[in-house]
Structure 1
Amino acid sequence: MQSDPSPQTSQSQTHLQAAANVVFVVAGAFAVGIAVSLVGVLLLQLLGISTDAPAVRAVLASLQYVGFGIAAYLYLERRNEWNIVRWRVPGLRDFGWMVGGLVILVAALVGVSVVIQQLGIEVAANQVITTGQQNPIYFLYMIPVTMLFVGPMEELIFRGIVQEKLRRTYGPAVAVVVASAVFAVAHWLALVGSSGGRVASIAVIFVLGAVLALLYERTENLVVVAVVHGLFNSYQFLGQYAIATGLIPGA
């Protein structure tokens, strides 16, 4: 007679499955995102449209996150796991959390930035920032992109699916830490600079991701976190635009 698997074996299999799901979802999102972006570039080339214009670059940037959305849809539909994404139409309390979450996120950025400056650590720049510094209007084009695509789609992948899958296996504390780490490391290729600078930037993104992860746990509403994420990125783009155009002095 074949014996039933031990509780330890079943638990190990559950943990391995959760880890495999995280890798599959994130890798799949980037694979589909890159594919959609390449299709967009090829179509523009066939139409004879230059990709150098800021508006066109912003459109191309949005395509990666369209790919994220497609990947998330395929994963949730194939596994019939739509119920794992916690979301609802925002109420008055949710709008309060949107405001409070944005304030906390900005405060976290300021706090981490001060610590890094005091330690004399150089951080890497994001490719979006370097592109916008060459043509500041790009920052303004990126505001609707980040509100409509970047915030919602990154949150759907990293909080709605990854964090929730980890939460159901390991509990909320581990889910917040691991999902934030995955979120941070996923930004590695978008950074420009030395390896040390990239590591420092990853640390900053980890802290910001942890704030978003905790906000998701507190509100249990992906819409709140997506809006806060989009608003935070928009705040940064507006600041970079003001610096690049001389409206405010640079650091």
Structure 2
Amino acid sequence: MSLESSRFPPLADQAESLGRAVLVVFLAFAGALVVTGLVGQALIETGLLVREELSGRVGLSVLQFVGFGIGVAAYLGFADDWRLIRAHLPGLRDLGAIGAGIFVILLSAAGVGQLLAALGVDVAQNQVIAVGQSNPEYFLYMIPVSLLFVGPFEELVFRGGVQGLLRRTYGPWIAVALATTLFGAMHTVALIGGSGSVLAYVAVAAVLGLVLGVAYELTENLVVPAVIHGAYNSVLFAVQYAVATGAVPA
């Protein structure tokens, strides 16, 4: 664990670090576009995927996050910087951190949600939720997708790549704050709602990103925030499925 005080780097170093972090995000999204566009289209043309069917939507989601990984791998290969990613099989301490992280992130999400509701602030809706509300079975498919693809590949981008690069220049705490800001802002591309509700969603995502960023710094193991992230999404999808099918009241 390395939580030394953040430094004040020269402006040139700050600009380079931020530029590299933004480049990682750009390459991740570019990878997602390329993989879903080329591989996804090829699968659709061969009939292996049908865009309008449930399996097609799930398959394209999987390809999107695989594209994230390919984009980050492209940066790591070009920069010859594979040591940037800190990951290993979790030990007992990591497993404890995962359990604590899941508890904290669910509690944080509930607390922020209640605060926004008390203030009368609407939160924008993610397009994934909108799809699932019209076909609740989609939520069940997204549980394993979250655990195997969404959590690992989003954390590879924002904690492994972005936070890792920023840490080298700014130290851990500023790196966590900046990576969290980018993490929240990038979610705007998948939101439905007005500007106020979008900002509210970004704030919620930023709080969750903060928990994930701290978990990564404390454990120095990318597996920890990846599992926490995937588990958090899975719980949300399970709850959404229960609500959409009437198992629990909305």
RMSD: 1.2
Runs of 5+ in structure 1 lacking a partner?
Answer: 1-9
Specify the alignment match of 1:3 in structure 2: none
Rg larger for: 1
Q: What SS does the aligned partner of 1:37 have?
A: helix
Specify the alignment match of 1:5 in structure 2: none
Shift of 1:217: 0.9
Specify the alignment match of 2:123 in structure 1: 123
Specify the alignment match of 1:135 in structure 2: 135
Specify the alignment match of 1:205 in structure 2: 205
Specify the alignment match of 1:53 in structure 2: 53
> Contact 1:176–1:213 at 8 Å: present in 2 too?
yes
Could you give the per-residue CA deviations for residues 4-23 of structure 1, whole angstroms, max 9, x where no partner exists? xxxxxx92221111011011
Shift of 1:34: 1.1
Q: What SS does the aligned partner of 1:121 have?
A: coil
Higher mean alpha-carbon deviation, 240-249 vs 43-52, is at 43-52
Specify the alignment match of 1:159 in structure 2: 159
Q: Whole-Å Cα distance in 2 between the matches of residues 228 and 45 of structure 1?
A: 33
Higher mean alpha-carbon deviation, 206-215 vs 51-60, is at 51-60
Are 2:78 and 1:78 equivalent residues in the alignment?
Answer: yes
Are 2:93 and 1:93 equivalent residues in the alignment?
Answer: yes
Specify the alignment match of 2:3 in structure 1: none
Higher mean alpha-carbon deviation, 13-22 vs 32-41, is at 32-41
Shift of 1:102: 0.2
Q: Whole-Å Cα distance in 1 between the matches of residues 39 and 80 of structure 2?
A: 29
Alignment of 1:1-251 (within 5 A): 11-48=10-47, 49-250=49-250
Q: Whole-Å Cα distance in 2 between the matches of residues 98 and 42 of structure 1?
A: 37
Runs of 5+ in structure 2 lacking a partner?
Answer: 1-8
> Contact 2:112–2:204 at 8 Å: present in 1 too?
yes
Q: Whole-Å Cα distance in 1 between the matches of residues 152 and 144 of structure 2?
A: 12
Q: TM-score, normalised by structure 2?
A: 0.94
Q: Which protein, 1 or 2, shows the higher relative CO under an 8 Å CA cutoff with sep ≥ 6? A: 2
Q: Whole-Å Cα distance in 1 between the matches of residues 231 and 164 of structure 2?
A: 23
Q: Whole-Å Cα distance in 2 between the matches of residues 34 and 139 of structure 1?
A: 23
Could you give the per-residue CA deviations for residues 183-238 of structure 1, whole angstroms, max 9, x where no partner exists? 01011011111111111100110001001001111111100110111010000000
Shift of 1:93: 1.3
| Partner amino acid, structure 2, of 1:47 | T
Could you give the per-residue CA deviations for residues 120-170 of structure 1, whole angstroms, max 9, x where no partner exists? 001100011000000000001111111111100110110001001111101
The percent of aligned pairs where both chains have the same amino acid is 46
Shift of 1:40: 3.5
Higher mean alpha-carbon deviation, 83-92 vs 108-117, is at 83-92
Q: Whole-Å Cα distance in 1 between the matches of residues 177 and 217 of structure 2?
A: 12
Shift of 1:41: 3.5
Higher mean alpha-carbon deviation, 184-193 vs 39-48, is at 39-48
Q: Whole-Å Cα distance in 1 between the matches of residues 30 and 39 of structure 2?
A: 14
Shift of 1:69: 0.7
> Contact 1:44–1:51 at 8 Å: present in 2 too?
no
Q: Whole-Å Cα distance in 2 between the matches of residues 44 and 52 of structure 1?
A: 13
